[in-house]
Amino acid sequence: MPSLVVRFVATTIAPRPRAGRSLAADVVPRTSCRGRRGPLDRPRSRRGPALVDSRTTLHDLYAVPQRSTVTQLASRPAATRPVPDIVTEIPGPRARAHVEFDHGVTSPSLPRAYPLVPVRGEGATIEDIDGNRFLDFAAGIAVNSTGHAHPRVVSAIQEQAEQLIHYSASDFYLPIYPQTCAELGRISPFNEPTRVYLGNSGTEVVEASIKLARLATGRPYVVAFLGGFHGRTYGSVTLTASKSKYHAGFGPLLPGVFHAPYGKVEDLRWFDEVLFERLAPADEVAAIIVEPIQGEGGYIVPEDGFLEGLRRMCDEHGILLIADEIQSGAGRTGRMWAVQHWGVVPDMLLTAKGIASGMPLGALIAPARLLEAWGPGAHGSTFGGNPVACAAALATIELLEEGLTANAAARGRQALAGLHPLHERFPALVREVRGMGLMLGVEFDTPEHAEEVQWACFQRGLLVLECGKSAVRMSPPLVVTESEMATGVRIFSEAVAAVAAERGELLATAEAAGAITGVEAAG
């Protein structure tokens, strides 16, 4: 690797400016994930000293102490430090230098929410490259279900890695592969024998489900929902309809895909009145794929009766119902699978993200009679069902069943009780508080305000993520404690109050924050 040198420049990071302005006057804005210029986008400096020069190697940038020693405060053992614990400006000097380096060598297609540079984690805590400790309510986009570095997951990974890291399950028989398939079938909602296909990610098993649905039914058409997100590969991105940017410039996409309105019982009329009447006969529709709770589309919980009605309609017309539980599954909503809240059993269930605590694993679970539609060679994967990822999944399933799923339900109730007052105090800013378990969403009046709340949380040591048009989601690890949840709700409330005060709504920052600080609800 060529020598790259880093000099840390003492600069002050200004508070997040209004949308449309760069973080500092001497920064060239970069297009953000929303297509706007904003303070999260800081690739290059026009004036002043560069962050990268010829005096320090990459090793100096990434020589992170074994435990934080950035300041005397940060040098205390991690176990004795509070969370959050911000010991530098945000982002810190090492983080700024890393972002500068990153922007020069990585694909510009990566959207990047804000300049967080994590280097280690424990439970619901993330520590960045500068020694700042954050309360993690993003969990790597709802992936780290058992928290960061759970000892039992780490042990399972280590033990498997010492024996066998990889051998392709597509061509050979790995002992841990069918063990994982059997466990996934056991915890699935199906009341009959199952078979399981393992891939590396959510988008891969979505692709597998499209192929299987068309093959098994002999029908060409697939229906997804407006607001849904199913991945970014060609088939899955065709199903995705949460933002037009995911399709921009990539057409023509997969043919034979339609998008229906989502979430309300009355939306089901669209199938009879529009799809079956004008676009595609019901007996030519192979499958309908649905997120039981929409994820990237805004953490949208459907009305009671919507999924049940969808199931009845599929049964009536012989259409396969595919439940995309990639974000909502693995205990996140307080049940193992979100469909269980409505008593719905799909024809295929897709999982990934949290099922292996951060290791790359996706699974298509279905009744054995359905998977028997395809024969050897119809689908496979070199890395799918990797032994190390399978070991992590087996440990994760044990932990979910031992209490993490129940904790998700309790902490979700606590969070919703603490967040609902925000809508009452700031009705013009906070339009809705919603969620189930640890899929929590707060809808704001504009995308700019959602982005400002996300940034204000980051500055205060709380990691959250935007989703949908103008919402902020909270998806903490399922190990989050009652105390951590109370802290997270307090910080989020303070961030909302700060944005509201800046916009002149209701109360001054101190009054608004004081009125809602310390809101806690029994789990």
**Alpha-carbon span 10 to 15, nearest angstrom:** 16
- Global confidence as pTM: 0.86
- Tokens standing for residue 119: 């280097």
Q: Examine the pLDDT at 255 and tell me if it is beyond 80.
A: yes
pLDDT for 91 equals: 97
Q: How crowded is residue 248: how many other Cβ atoms within 10 Å of its Cβ?
A: 9
Backbone angles phi, psi at 423, to 5 degrees: -65, -35
pLDDT averaged over every residue in the chain = 87
Q: Examine the pLDDT at 186 and tell me if it is beyond 70.
A: yes
Tens of pLDDT, residues 263-277: 999 999 999 999 999
**Alpha-carbon span 485 to 492, nearest angstrom:** 10
Average pLDDT over residues 212-236: 98
Q: Domains for the chain: give ranges and CATH numbers.
A: 202-376 (3.40.640.10)
Tens of pLDDT, residues 351-400: 999 999 999 999 999 999 999 999 999 999 999 999 999 999 999 999 99
Choose among 208, 296, 282: nearest CA to 473: 296
CB 349 within 8 A of CB 325: yes
Q: How confident is the model at residue 18 (pLDDT cuts 50, 70, 90)?
A: very low
pLDDT for 6 equals: 35
Q: How confident is the model at residue 504 (pLDDT cuts 50, 70, 90)?
A: confident
pLDDT for 508 equals: 41
- Tokens standing for residue 34: 């929303």
Cβ burial of 493 (10 Å; 0-12, 13-18, 19+) is: buried
Choose among 84, 87, 108, 91: nearest CA to 40: 91
pLDDT for 63 equals: 65
